[in-house]
Copies of this chain bind each other. A is one copy, B any other.
Amino acid sequence: MSYAKSVKIVEVAPRDGLQNEATTIGISERVRFIEELTDAGLWTIECGSFVSPKWVPQMAGTADVLRQLKRTPGVRYTVLVPNLKGLEAAIESGVEEIAVFASASESFSQHNINCSTDESLSRMSDVAQAALARGIRVRGYVSCVLGCPYEGDISLKAVTRVAAALAGMGCYEVSLGDTIGVGTPRKARAMLSEVAEHVPIDRLAAHFHDTWGQALANVLACLEMGLAVVDSAAGGLGGCPYAKGASGNLATEDLLYMLQGMNIETGIDLGKVAATGWRIANLLGRQPSSKAALAWKASRTND
């Protein structure tokens, strides 16, 4: 048990959260959301993606979001980029950091982006190379690290191979995604342990979905191993496309409450995150899928 003294939270609600919601949130509301998250103290925020609006209408207008945003110095605004065309659009928008991705599951890769994992790694390598040449930071995502909706279990070897490939192409950090939220702590720990033998743990992040309510326990298991970067989404935004009605990303509020209680620094204001998470959830016609957000509101109402 040697927890990091501080943990970096990568806020993914404006991208990974909103892209999986049935309701599309307008550009000005997304801008306000990102600005409020920044005001709460988050300093790495995934703002959108340059994918075809035909496939992901929720992310249409990412260029406008970036244009309208009042940028705060020191804050990293990142966007997801699937290919060189997306990178061009990102560069036009003055982006300083992008995220690329590949799946540890062959079937998921085929279903999701219609190519093999190796083909996608090759494509991502081109994107990373071009980005790095322009001084743009690159972050990598591995999806399906704890299970795949088509294949079930995924071998640690497959996860490690993709994580190492992303690190090898210059990703400063590789985020390990339990895309469908099926992991449990022992498996999370075994996976991280294996990957960390090939990519230093200080270049790894946990990106766990809360589909089965396991995300925070899985994060705890990883923190116990010294991991210090965690992805989460305000309000627990984002459902699961493979299980309609299920929960989305680990909620930033739940994560923050745990870290604060453990005296692990984040520099982030839970109340401000909860407030903006509630606002967006209300726009989506529901309450946040974060228990800490519910308790936060209840505790204010009781005052």
Bound CA span A253–B243, Å: 16
Interface flags for A176-220 (1: CB within 8 Å of B; 0: not) read: 000001111111000000000000000000000011111011011
Contact of A302 among B219, B244, B251, B302 (CB under 8 A): B244
**What is the distance, in angstroms, from A150's C-beta to the closest C-beta of chain B?**
13
Task: Give the distance in Å from the alpha carbon of A264 to the alpha carbon of B25 in the complex.
Answer: 42
Q: Which among B187, B212, B221 is the interface contact of A295 at CB below 8 angstroms?
A: B212
Across the interface, A214 reaches (CB within 8 A) one of B181, B183, B257, namely B257
Q: Are B291 and A213 in contact (CB under 8 A)?
A: yes
Q: Is the CB of B214 within 8 A of A261?
A: yes
Q: How far is the CA of A282 from the CA of B211 in the complex (A)?
A: 21
CA distance A186 to B220 in the complex (A): 10
| A window 198-257: CB within 8 A of B | 210-214, 216-217, 219-221, 240, 242-247, 251, 253-254, 257
Report whether B220 and A290 are in contact in the complex, using a CB–CB cutoff of 8 Å. Answer: no
Question: Who on chain B is nearest to A253 by CB?
Answer: B213
Query: In the assembly, what is the distance between CA of A244 and CA of B298, in Å?
Result: 5
Q: Is A299 an interface residue (CB 8 A)?
A: yes
List chain B residues, Cβ under 8 A from A291.
Answer: 210-213, 246-247, 289
Verify A247–B214 contact, CB threshold 8 A.
Answer: no
Assess whether A112 is interfacial by the CB under 8 Å rule.
Answer: no
Q: What B residues does A124 contact at CB under 8 A?
A: none
Q: Which residues of B contact A214 (CB under 8 A)?
A: 216, 254, 257-258, 261
A164 interface hit (Cβ, 8 Å): no
CB distance from A209 to the nearest CB of B (A): 10
CB distance from A192 to the nearest CB of B (A): 14
Query: In the bound complex, how far is the Cα of B292 from the Cα of A186, in angstroms?
Result: 18
Known: A186-B261, A217-B258, A261-B184. A212 touches B242 (CB 8 A): no
Q: Which residue of B lies closest to A182 (CB)?
A: B261
Name which residue of chain B comes closest to A215, CB basis.
B291
Instruction: Judge if A297 is at the interface, Cβ distance under 8 Å.
Output: yes
A257→B298 contact, CB < 8 A: no
Task: Kindly list 13 other residue pairs between chains A and B, CB separation below 8 angstroms, not including A187-B261, A220-B221, A243-B302.
Answer: A183-B261, A184-B257, A184-B258, A186-B262, A211-B291, A213-B257, A213-B290, A214-B257, A216-B217, A243-B298, A243-B299, A245-B294, A247-B291
Residues of A within 8 A of B (CB): 181-187, 210-214, 216-217, 219-221, 240, 242-247, 251, 253-254, 257-258, 260-263, 289-292, 294-295, 297-299, 301-302
Please list the 10 inter-chain residue pairs (A to B) with the smallest Cβ-Cβ separation, ordered nearest first: A184-B261, A213-B291, A243-B298, A213-B254, A246-B295, A245-B298, A186-B262, A246-B298, A217-B220, A247-B291
